[in-house]
Amino acid sequence: MNLIRQDKIKEYLEGKSVATIKEVHELFPDVSLMTIHRDLSALEEQGVLTKHHGMVKYLRYKDDVDFQVRMEENTPGKMSMVKKAVTLIQPYTSVFFDAGTSNLLLAKNLPDINLNVITTSPGIALELCRLHNPTVTVCCGSMNRRNMAVSGQNTIEMLEKINIDVAFIGVSGYTENTGFTCGTEADMLIKKLVINKARVKVMMCSAEKLERLMPYTFADISDADFIVTDGAMPEEFISAAKEAGVTVL
């Protein structure tokens, strides 16, 4: 019976992407909440979902999601975001790009202007080598092969010494209750530090990231100055941003 129940949970989450544990329990009123927790823990071990603060998130791919897979997803939407993000970059400023597919595409389309670019992505740094004018600083640290980013204490110590005009921050998920989230503690610590240091904070958040829940919160909507999106966002999201004084592009 538990395998049948777990299959139904997978089917339910595949359709919703994210749900509360209470909602999952309501699917099976005849079993205890403890039983549902055991089912969810079993599915989490299989890489089907992740649990966090009373909520569960369905993982479409194991390790949610390999960098190259994400790079090939939603390219038209990401290009729409890139065109908006480029308008926020001015010559002779210090710009930070954290690792992520949207920021890598932004680097591929960056004009050849005088900039100081700081990044935690070796891939972004290599991409910028095609340009003559930007000065590129790559943070040191331990390489995460899954998200193609460096992180760790050395990364944090280096970023603490650098001043940033504009920071472009990748977003893995957003919900009204949890704010902007990411997948690892190391990434969360870097994003928090950069948000505290940057004069202008830009969240790169496509519509598909809404209602996704990842384990670590790194910012609230009010922490952003701009949110760059790939299309029409829900009215409640736009209203929340406007109330916080944030511009949605």
Q: What is the CATH number of the domain that holds 9?
A: 1.10.10.10
pLDDT of 165 > 70? The answer is yes
The predicted pLDDT at position 54 comes to: 81
Choose among 199, 201, 198: nearest CA to 171. Answer: 201
Query: Range of 21's domain?
Result: 2-58
List the strands of the sheet with 216-219, edge to edge: 173-175, 179-182, 216-219
Confidence band for 136, pLDDT divided at 50, 70 and 90: very high
Q: Which residue has the higher pLDDT, 134 or 17?
A: 134
Q: Return the minimum-mean-pLDDT range out of 12-16, 73-77, 221-225.
A: 73-77
Q: 132 and 28 in one domain?
A: no
The predicted pLDDT at position 61 comes to: 46
Which of 32, 58, 84 corresponds to the end of one domain? 58
pLDDT of 143 > 90? The answer is no
To the nearest whole percent, how much of the chain has pLDDT over 70?
92
The predicted pLDDT at position 128 comes to: 93
Confidence band for 1, pLDDT divided at 50, 70 and 90: low
Work out how many domains the chain is built from and give that number: 2
Q: 178 and 217 in one domain?
A: yes
Q: 37 and 129 in one domain?
A: no
Average pLDDT, the chain: 86
For 193, the token pair is: 């530090």
The predicted pLDDT at position 73 comes to: 54
- Angle in degrees, CA 228, 160, 173, rounded to 5: 30
Strands (DSSP E) contained in 16-172 are: 18-20, 49-52, 55-58, 93-97, 115-119, 135-138, 142-144, 149-151, 166-170
Mean pLDDT of 90-105: 92
The predicted pLDDT at position 75 comes to: 65
* Measured torsion, CA atoms of residues 135, 139, 140, 146, in degrees rounded to the nearest 10: -120
Mean pLDDT of 149-176: 92
Is the separation of the CB atoms in 201 and 223 below 8 Å? Answer: yes
CA distance 173 to 132: 35
Which of 58, 89, 104 corresponds to the end of one domain? 58
- 63 in a domain, yes or no? no
- 175 in a domain, yes or no? yes
pLDDT tens column, 45-97: 776 777 777 888 777 544 444 544 454 555 677 888 899 999 999 999 999 99
Is the separation of the CB atoms in 133 and 112 below 8 Å? Answer: yes
CA distance 102 to 114: 21
